[in-house]
Amino acid sequence: MDMNGKTVLITGASRGIGAEAARVFAAAGANVALLARGQREIADLAGEIGDKAIAIPCNVSSFREVSAAVETTVNAFGGLDVLINNAGIIEPISHLSEADTEAWGDVIDVNLKGVFYGMRAAVPVMKAGGGGSVLTISSGAANGPVEAWSHYCASKAAVNMLTRCLDKEEAESGIRAIGLSPGTVATQMQREIKSSGINPVSQLDWDVHIPADWPARALLWMCSPAADTWCGQEISLRDEDIRRKVGLI
């Protein structure tokens, strides 16, 4: 997928899938705007990538900050073609009956409101430019309950519906809304899950998790017409046919 002349905004770009997506899209020729709360990490990554990258400190749970980040991106690169809603948290992992209510709400603020804020800020810009792709990291937790993940499951289920709503409302305006359920990925989040010791996911061996560049490469493929069939839906990297289409097997 040739991304020369295209601009991609990535939330949660300081590590894991977000950082790998930045590298993959930049290698394909795209300009990349790196958003995260970890200022030093995104500054280092922007330095690694070079002139095609800018680092924008941003807390996605604040619409003001997300809106300002979109404006900064457009001012820097002249437009916005792809939004990757990647920022997400899972801590604190706890049973619903024992959950800290404020911390539970913080996960909703990042995982759900952060995705809505990204869509709300980016979609009008994309429509004005003739269209664009809104790609959102989902999870198998969007479709099935997991012990001690009530906040995460609820947020991912809601995000799945946001993707479907965006497709219904804006597909005719050239907006391609697609979710990506990557499966378990070898990132810091998986380390947090493992350290919790709760539910079967925490018991998985580390070597069963896929590398972060797999979903990053899938996201690049999702920008191509080959993925149009999945607009308004979720793509699962557990599907061997999808892995084959992406070029992972």
Tell me the CATH number at 184.
Answer: 3.40.50.720
For residue 227, what pLDDT band results from cuts at 50, 70 and 90?
Answer: very high
Q: How far apart are CA 131 and CA 113, in angstroms?
A: 22
Tokens of 249: 């097997």
Residue 206: pLDDT above 70?
Answer: no
| Residue pLDDT, tens place only, 34-90 | 999 989 999 999 999 999 999 999 999 999 999 999 999 999 999 999 999 999 998
Q: For residue 216, is it within any domain? A: yes
In a domain, 117, yes or no: yes
Residue 1 lies in a domain: no
pLDDT of residue 141: 83
Q: What is the pLDDT of residues 77-114, one digit of tens each?
A: 999 999 999 999 989 999 999 999 999 999 999 999 99
In this structure, is residue 30 part of a structural domain? yes
Instruction: Describe the crossing of helices 101-108 and 150-170 by its angle, rounded to 10 degrees.
Output: 30
Residue 2 in any domain: the answer is no
The single-letter code of the amino acid at 89 is I
β-pair partners for 53: 32
**Would residue 80 count as lying in a domain?**
yes
In a domain? residue 125 = yes
Confidence at residue 33, expressed as pLDDT on a 0 to 100 scale? 98
Q: What is the pLDDT of residue 186?
A: 67
The answer to whether residue 117 is catalytic is no
Give me the amino acid identity at 104. W
User: What is the residue range of 181's domain?
Assistant: 7-246
- Structural domain total, the chain: 1
Q: Which of 71, 90, 73 shows the shortest CA–CA distance to 16? A: 90
Percent of residues, the chain, with pLDDT higher than 70 = 98
Cα–Cα nearest to 234, from 149, 168, 139 = 139
Among 25, 77, 149, 152, the active-site one is 152
